Amino acid sequence: MGANTVIEKMPTIILNVNDLESALIQHIAQDQAGATVIDLQQPWGGGNESDMTELLRERRDELAETVLLIEAPYANLERTLNVMGKQVVVIDHHLYHTHNNETLDLRSDLSSLDQVLLFLGIDPLTQPGSAQLPPCLGLVTDSGGEIDLDALAHLVSANDRGHIPLLAHHINELDESGKLPPGVDQCELLWDLRLNEMTLTHTMAIDGGIAELADPKVFADKKQALENLFNQAMDYWTRIGKEARFAILALAVTNAMTLVCGS
């Protein structure tokens, strides 16, 4: 499918809006590009395939001929869309382990955000600034400078591809190249972005929806509550002895290895 066809016939975006990357994809595709975005409304890290399939059936009249299925590695979803006669473009960059102990390799050098921008032909540099961003995406430095959409897209993509190490690298890189507001505190910016991410994923998992986060006060209250919980955990971490901290860390690593390697 050529670039002109994509622009003239905007695809429908289907995804779960439950983290920073998906929230930014929704904002750019829906608010900037005018595409229809269907939020499957499932929490980060899992989902009910039957509920998602039923939602697509209910909203089939909103589907364009081409749909972008983003980070939703469920066979029934793609099958349902194919039965509807839709052309499905799978956008992802993860390696999945299915319930049948099979591997679904959807890895890519590009984040899902980068792939969507490329498919839609959108350059964040040409888009309006961060003043129009929803609360969960807006970042303002201590000096009052706003992070523009282009820099935000770079940071969110880095956060999703390489988590804190790559995010820290990109913050430093953008700062040194003059693409961040003067005097930005790199550590504070990293913390704010990660806390926004945690607030999104936590709210989606606990409350089952993030629509209320469009209210800046609601988002600020939830962010503060989560920050308080994090600070309590950090206080506990610093008060317990080194041996106990090592035991907790060793257990966490063991659990992670069990999840990844299956043994």
> What is the chain's mean pLDDT, rounded?
82
pLDDT, one tens digit per residue, over 148-201 is 889 999 999 999 998 888 999 999 999 999 999 888 888 889 888 988 888 888
Q: Is residue 248 part of a domain?
A: no
Residue 231 in any domain: the answer is no
Higher pLDDT, 232 or 114: 114
Q: Quick one: residue 13, left, alpha or beta (phi over 0 = left, psi -120 to 50 = alpha)?
A: beta
CA dist., res. 189 & res. 163, Å (int): 14
Task: Please tell me the predicted confidence (pLDDT) of residue 251.
Answer: 64
Q: Quickly state the pLDDT bin for 5 (edges 50, 70, 90).
A: very low
Is 90 inside any structural domain? Answer: yes
Note whether residue 137 is domain-resident. yes
Q: Check whether 71 has a pLDDT greater than 60.
A: yes
Radius of gyration of the chain (CA): 20
In this predicted structure, what is the pLDDT of residue 99? 73
Q: What is the C-alpha to C-alpha distance for residues 174 and 180, in angstroms, rounded to an integer?
A: 6
258 belongs to a structural domain? no
Q: What is the pLDDT of residue 62?
A: 95
Residue 121 zone, left/alpha/beta (φ > 0; ψ -120 to 50; rest): left
Domain of residue 165, CATH code: 3.90.1640
pLDDT digits over 193-252, tens only? 988 888 888 777 666 666 677 788 888 888 888 788 777 766 766 677 666 666 666 666
pLDDT at 95: 85
Is residue 226 domain-resident?
no
In a domain, 251, yes or no: no
Residue 10: inside a domain, yes or no?
yes
Q: What is the four-CA torsion angle of 2, 67, 194, 261, rounded to 10 degrees?
A: -100
In eight-state DSSP terms, residue 95 is: E
* Cα distance between residue 128 and residue 248, in whole Å: 45
What Å distances lie between residue 182 and 151, 187, 192, CA to CA? 14, 14, 17
The pTM of this model reads 0.79
Q: How far is CA 98 from the centre of its chain?
A: 21
Count: domains in the chain: 1
Give me the domain span that covers residue 171: 3-214
